[in-house]
């Protein structure tokens, strides 16, 4: 049995795991601070696990935006992220050079989508969107079980959609103001409410506006990507469980009868919580590690820059 490690590099915390796709044997959580220190700590954890047996491959599931195009000169480099100090960090090379084993890198949400597709709420689905609403808002997209990259990678959190009538909140995104991340992320809700969103009672009428914003996002995903499953994770949806049903209930009206089979009942079965919970990202990093190892075995002369 090969020994695989994964790094889920998040905006708030970094999780380093040892195990196999579908099984986490060991886990270490670290705060995500300055890039040099954070990556050094994650590498140090993996090096400690190599004392008795080499780690055969590593998967990195990273926040972004980060360059995931394998043929790009800056592959694995952090782009214009709102995370202070991380712009220009060569995440991939730092890890690959230190550990000298096959390494794969993708976005944290693409990795979580891979894990849910294989082991969780997306089993049996050819097309899947994994949406996370927490410190930021991101979305990973799978088509035929493969992550969508393209010129960059999907940036679902930064689309700007129709606002709820009468809502004057300016939004909190440093780049776009009232994009979906600027309206729905944890920091955005804290700015809107003036306190941490977990302190707001579920019955507070202000959640109706938030549910409307989320419904606009869900309707957009249904219309543009036509996924078989939308898996919604992250701290906001977890701590405010009333939010997702309220948003789903609003989607049919936004579709205006255009997709007749997208009833409230159908959507409730299509838009679901992650079965893997907070393990989706770390498990996804192990899925990436397994892909890196498989690629190294089948194409040993190819670059470690995979997938």
pLDDT in tens, 147-193: 999 888 999 999 999 999 999 999 999 999 999 999 999 999 999 99
In CATH terms, are 4-108+279-298 and 121-274 the same topology? yes
CA-CA distances (angstroms) from residue 62 to 22, 191, 260? 19, 25, 38
- Say yes or no to pLDDT of 298 above 90: no
How many Å apart are CA 184 and CA 137, to the nearest integer?
7
Number of Cα atoms under 13 Å in the Cβ half of residue 139: 23
Mean pLDDT (whole number) for 6-32: 96
User: Is 60 exceeded by the pLDDT of residue 292?
Assistant: yes
* Tens-digit pLDDT profile for residues 79-109: 998 899 999 999 999 999 999 999 999 999 9
Percentage above 90 pLDDT, the chain: 84
Superfamily for the 121-274 domain: ATPase, nucleotide binding domain (3.30.420.40)
Backbone angles phi, psi at 277, to 5 degrees: 55, -135
Residue 306 pLDDT > 60: no
> Residue 303 pLDDT more than 50?
no
What are the boundaries of each domain within the chain? 4-108+279-298, 121-274
Q: What is the mean pLDDT of the chain?
A: 93
Q: In this model, does residue 307 exceed pLDDT 70?
A: no
By percentage, how much of the chain surpasses pLDDT 70?
Answer: 96
Angstrom distances, CA of residue 172 to CA of 35, 160, 169, 218: 24, 13, 9, 20
* Distance in angstroms (rounded) separating the CA atoms of residues 148 and 142: 6
CATH fold of 4-108+279-298? Nucleotidyltransferase; domain 5 (3.30.420)
Q: What is the mean pLDDT of residues 6-33?
A: 96
């Amino acid at each position: 049995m090969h020994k695989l490690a994964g790094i889920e590099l998040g905006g708030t915390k970094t999780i380093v795991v040892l195990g196999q796709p579908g099984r986490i044997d060991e886990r270490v959580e670290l705060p995500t601070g300055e890039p040099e220190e954070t990556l050094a700590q994650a590498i140090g954890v993996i090096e400690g696990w190599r004392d008795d047996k080499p780690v055969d491959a590593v998967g990195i599931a990273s926040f972004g935006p980060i360059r995931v195009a394998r043929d790009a000169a800056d592959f694995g480099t952090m782009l214009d992220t709102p995370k202070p100090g991380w712009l220009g960090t060569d995440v991939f090379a730092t890890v690959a050079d230190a550990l000298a084993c096959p390494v794969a890198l993708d976005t944290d949400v693409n990795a979580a989508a891979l894990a849910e597709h294989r082991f969780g709420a997306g089993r049996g689905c050819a097309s899947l969107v994994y949406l996370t609403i927490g410190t930021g808002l991101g979305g990973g997209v799978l088509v035929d079980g493969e992550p969508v990259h393209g010129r960059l990678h999907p940036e679902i959190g930064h689309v700007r959609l129709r606002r709820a009538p009468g809502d004057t909140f300016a939004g909190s995104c440093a780049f776009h103001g009232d994009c979906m991340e600027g309206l729905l992320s944890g920091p955005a809700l804290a700015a809107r409410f003036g306190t941490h969103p977990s302190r707001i009672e579920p019955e507070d009428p202000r959640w109706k506006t938030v549910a409307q914003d989320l419904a606009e996002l869900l309707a957009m995903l249904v219309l543009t990507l036509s996924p078989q499953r939308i898996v919604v994770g992250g701290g906001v949806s977890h701590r405010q469980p009333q939010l997702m049903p309220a948003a789903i209930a609003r989607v049919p009206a936004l579709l205006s009868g255009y997709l007749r089979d997208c009833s409230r009942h159908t959507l409730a079965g299509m838009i679901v919580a992650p079965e893997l919970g907070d393990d989706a990202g770390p498990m996804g990093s192990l899925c990436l590690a397994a892909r890196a190892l498989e690629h190294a075995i089948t194409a040993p002369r190819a670059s470690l820059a995979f997938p």
